[in-house]
Amino acid sequence: MNDTNIQYVFKITVIGDSAVGKTSLIKQYTQASFENDYISTIGAQFSIYNEKIDGDNCKLFFWDLAGQKEFNLLRSQFYRESKAAIIVYSLEENNLGIESFKHLSEWYKEIKNHCGEIPVIIFANKVDLIDEDNLDDSEIQNLIKKNNFIGVYRTSAKTGKGVTDAFQKIIKVLLTQYKNKI
């Protein structure tokens, strides 16, 4: 099968509470840029990114779904046919950070309802705003074990730290899964 020209197309959904940095993470990964001003996503936003991973041509469709409650109904339409999901929460030590962590299970429930059992990865974003040495990972690790998530990656959309590794992890899982099927 060496002369085949296989291209891998993956639709990946990115969800999580509003203002945790979903759009910025995608922008950092696909364009290597960051904007300081926060502009909340209206409904949904999508990005196409072509990347060669371990010699495989991948076309990635990232669906960035607005976290606000007013988009609940609209959001459900975009889950369909997703191959994987990224749930983002914020590591900020404030209300937004605490709430976004608490809501991880709810976001996962929503994915499961619409997509069934697809690979799910957690991005713990805004790592640049905290002292990593004081971070207690036990709660998130329990959640990962309990729900069989791929793992948790600490990211910073602002500095770019961990972003490429985190995105590539989920893509590599999808590639392996796809190749095992064919």
Measured distance CA(109)–CA(156) in Å, rounded: 25
- By C-beta, is 10 or 101 nearer to other proteins? 10
First to last CA, the chain: 11
User: Does residue 3 belong to the site contacting other proteins (CB under 8 A)?
Assistant: yes
- By C-beta, is 34 or 71 nearer to other proteins? 71
Strands 56-65 and 7-16, bridge-based pairing: parallel
Q: What is the DSSP string of 84-101?
A: EEEEEEE--SSHHHHHHH
The CB density around residue 83, as the number of other CB atoms within 10 Å, is: 21
Measured distance CA(95)–CA(109) in Å, rounded: 22
Q: Please give the residues from 40 up to 59 whose contact with other proteins meets the rule CB under 8 A.
A: 42-44, 46, 59
CB of 48 vs other proteins, minimal distance in Å? 9
- By C-beta, is 56 or 128 nearer to other proteins? 56
Return the residue of 51, 61, 150, 168 that touches other proteins, per CB under 8 A.
61
Is 50:7 a contact under the CB 8 Å cutoff?
Answer: no
User: Does residue 74 belong to the site contacting other proteins (CB under 8 A)?
Assistant: yes
CB of 61 vs other proteins, minimal distance in Å? 5
CB of 139 vs other proteins, minimal distance in Å? 34
Contacting residues toward other proteins, per CB under 8 A: 1-11, 42-44, 46, 59, 61, 63, 74, 77-78, 80-81, 83, 182
